[in-house]
Every structure is written in structure tokens, then in C-alpha cells.
Amino acid sequence: MKLQARLALAFLLAANLVSAAADEAKFSAPKNFTLALGDSLAFGYQAHKVAANPFDLAQFYTGFAFVFTQRVAQTAAGKGAQILNLGCPGETTDSFLNGPCLYHAIGFPLHINYSGSQMAAAEALLRAHPGQVNPILISLGANDALRVQAFCPSFDRDCVAAILPGILAAVGENLGEVLSRLRNAAPDAEIILLQLYNPLFFVTPTSDALALSLNAVIGNMAAAHRARVANAFPAFNQAPPQPQTLCVMTLMCGLGGIAPGDIHASDVGYATIADLMFQAAGYTRFEQ
């Protein structure tokens, strides 16, 4: 079976996890707190900053969740909004549900430290601030997908096609549980999921298919749980000229003396993601 056909099968497997009776996302104005959940992108991670001083958390405030919240706080509707950031570098959808955050377990601080799972910490924060949290921003799934590179370092098509459907199915199932539990804890909150860019284009352009497959799962899960999506792929991977745009949006090429090879967003890239999140939330209406 060709790779394209196997990817199509993976789409179908993931789609089977989606409720046919999905409700449309409903607009909800910002409240006292923005809750950021997920992986290193939610945290605002950049490798050179961690290497310089992982304990200086303020240097990660260029991350999209912080930039987003700063913009919300400048509007009349969201004036004074604060961020609650539980992001954990290295988090997968499985570790999000079951814990622990290994980045914190080995001694590095989080913006809000917690033990156990990030899911449980999020539910605890929502209980502690009933009706005060909106929106909820989520970046999850990238580290699940990176397992493909671990098993198929050269992105051999047969290897990718053999393991990708199982990874996508697990991401869909785990995201479904995450979103269901968040919906139970915060029924009226806006939930916005990040659809991911592909930094591995520099390794092989065929890895775009992996990113698009993962984004399809994220989109399906969002639709099933009355959530929205902010898609970073067009701005990072499709905006011309390439590869120059991707070099500016990520740290894969290095910037200003920064060593190349960091898959994370640059400050410009994080600001772009924040803009996409802001647009997805519908909050541009408060700036008119």
C-alpha cells in the first residue's frame, strides 16, 4: 500500500474517534485567567535559554501563551487578565493524562509547579477558579508525532506508514479524554488547540505529511468537543519564500549567534502563534 493510501487510512481511523453530533464552538469573552496547557510550545521553551539558565522563567515569556494573554489584558473586555501556565516541555498526550512532567521531575521549574499529571493540575486550577478561566490554550501532540522520527530516523515511507496510524489513533483517543474532562470542568470556556507547524521539513520534506495527518486529528477532536483551532502550518510552512520563512519562524537555522537545530519557535514564531490564537478566539473584535 502506498504512503498516501496508508495516510488516508490513518485519517479514517482517527475520524472514528470523533462524535458525529459535535457542537459548534460558542464565543465566550475573556475572563480573569487564561489557562495554558500542553508541551514546550505552551511553556515558551527555547533551547538556548534553557542552556543559559533554566531557572530564569521570565525569559520564556516570549512564548505564545504569554504574548496572547498580554494582548488580551490590553483590551477593555480582558483588562487585567492573567496567565496560568501549566505547560511542560516534553509532554505527550499520554504523559499529560497520567503524569509526571519529566522536565519538572528532573529538577527544572515550571511556571506553576505541580506533581502528578498536568490533567489533574488543570482540573484543580479550574476548581479553584470557578467561572473565572477563559480561554484555555492547548498545544499537544507534537511529541507523540516525534516518535515517528525516533523509530524511522530517515522517514522511510514503509516504516512511517506502519507506525503512524497507531500513533494518530492514540493521540485522538487521549485528546478526546483531555477535552472531555476540560469541558466537564469548564463547560463555557473557549478551548483553542494549536495545529502544528513542521520544523522537520529541514530533515525531509515528506515529513509534511506527518504534520498534516496530526493536524487532521487535532481538528477532528476540536470539532467533537466544541473547541477551536489555530493552525500554524500555513504561516510557518507555506508562506513564501521558503525555507527562509521557516528559518525565521523557528530556531532550526539558528538566529543571531544561536546554534541551529532547535525545533521550537523563535520569538517571531511565538508571536505569530499568539496572533493565530487571538484570531481563533474571536478577540480581534475587542480591538476595533
User: What's the pLDDT score for residue 288?
Assistant: 67
Distance CA 244, CA 257 (A): 17
pTM above 0.85, yes or no: yes
d(CA 179, CA 254) in angstroms, rounded, equals 35
Query: Grid coordinates representing 16?
Result: 472514528
**Radius of gyration of the chain from Cα atoms?**
18
Helix segments in the chain, DSSP class H:
3-15, 40-43, 47-52, 64-73, 93-98, 102-105, 118-128, 142-151, 157-185, 208-224, 233, 244-249, 267-281
Domains and CATH numbers, the chain: 3-282 (3.40.50.1110)
- Dihedral sign, CA of 62, 127, 39, 237? negative
The candidate with the shortest Cα–Cα distance to 119, out of 136, 105, 144, 143, is 136
Specify the pLDDT at position 66: 98
Report the b/e string of 96-124 with b at 16+ CB within 10 A: bbebebebbeeebebbeebeebbbbbbbe
Q: Does an H or E element contain 139, and which? A: strand 133-139
The residue to which cell 506533581 is assigned: 115
pLDDT value, residue 23 = 59
pLDDT tens per residue across all 288 residues of the chain: 444 444 444 444 444 444 334 457 778 899 999 999 999 999 999 999 999 999 999 999 999 999 999 999 999 999 999 999 999 999 999 999 999 999 999 999 999 999 999 999 999 999 999 999 999 999 999 999 999 988 888 788 889 889 999 999 999 999 999 999 999 999 999 999 999 999 999 878 888 989 999 999 999 999 999 999 999 999 999 999 999 999 999 999 998 878 899 999 999 999 999 999 999 999 999 986
